Amino acid sequence: MRKLTYHYSALSKQTWFYSGILYLILTSVVYILVVAYKVEGFYEELNLPLALAANMIGMAFFYLLSLGHKVCYSEYDSEKIVYKNRLLRREKTFYFNQAQAVIFDKSGINFYRREEDLVNKKEPDFRIPLFRDGKIEALEINTFFKVMKDREEALAEKTYFKVYKSFKVLPGYGRKWKYVSFAYACLTLLVLMNCAKPLAVIMGLMEAF
């Protein structure tokens, strides 16, 4: 079976997550050194196990967020498509012969059992989202679109099946998304600037003791 998978929406978004992990690592080192060197005025009130546990939870949270785009994916063949969620261990299946129309729009791939429902802008009977903590892989969705168009041509004289597409540039890959990437880059820079403080404290403690 072929797959539809997701990719992180921007590299700067990933670096933002990892810079957050770096900041928590540095602050954890500060806590350890404060207790190890018994820095007066600080180590007496510092609960080291609790502080380290909180930072570990934070690091795990950022790491899981960085992998969020891998939670969901879809598999399909010539007869059906299956949308799967690894985290919830759930899946939904839709057979192509149940659909009269499918539209590739800005939010997802929407299947309708009746084309009238598409015309009347009703909720689709089955939907594959384009975004799931990341954007759908461009080459994979292009392949799936061709599969649907081939099915439309093959069934032209047998049954009713239409394929539509409402965008020219795949959402998540257009020029405006560069602004989103820039915003995450700014957040990454902000976090890295904050990393300078615990790093300076670490160096100061090691030199002093």
Same domain, 138 and 119: yes
Residues 6+ positions from 7 with CB-CB distance below 8 Å: 69, 134, 135, 136, 137
Mean pLDDT for all residues in the chain: 94
Q: Residues 69, 134: contact at Cβ < 8 Å?
A: yes
Same domain, 92 and 49: no
pLDDT digits (tens, 9 = 90+) for 35-60: 998 888 888 889 999 999 999 999 99
pTM: 0.86
Residues 6+ positions from 16 with CB-CB distance below 8 Å: 184, 187, 188, 191
**Domain range for residue 159?**
72-165
Same domain, 55 and 76: no
Same domain, 137 and 155: yes
Rounded to an integer, the average pLDDT of 194-205 is 93
Same domain, 120 and 157: yes
- The long-range contacts involving 91-98, CB below 8 angstroms and separated by at least 24 positions, are 92/126, 94/125, 94/126, 96/151, 96/161, 98/125
Rounded to an integer, the average pLDDT of 139-154 is 96
Strand stretches in 18-174, DSSP E: 72-76, 80-85, 90-95, 101-104, 108-112, 126-129, 135-136, 162-165
Q: Residues 3, 45: contact at Cβ < 8 Å?
A: no
Same domain, 158 and 182: no
Q: Report the distance separating Cα 8 and Cα 5, nearest Å.
A: 10
Q: How confident is the model at residue 99 (pLDDT cuts 50, 70, 90)?
A: very high
Query: Does 130 reside within a domain?
Result: yes
Q: Which two tokens stand for residue 28?
A: 């954890």
pLDDT recorded at residue 134: 94
Query: Does 170 reside within a domain?
Result: no
Same domain, 11 and 31: yes
Residue 4, H or E segment: strand 2-4
Supply the DSSP symbol for 10. -
Query: Does 172 reside within a domain?
Result: no
pLDDT digits (tens, 9 = 90+) for 149-180: 999 999 987 889 999 999 999 999 988 888 99
Same domain, 88 and 152: yes
pLDDT recorded at residue 23: 97
Q: Residues 172, 135: contact at Cβ < 8 Å?
A: yes
- Total number of domains constituting the chain: 2
CA 4 to chain centre: 14
Same domain, 53 and 96: no
Same domain, 88 and 62: no
pLDDT of 209 > 80? The answer is no
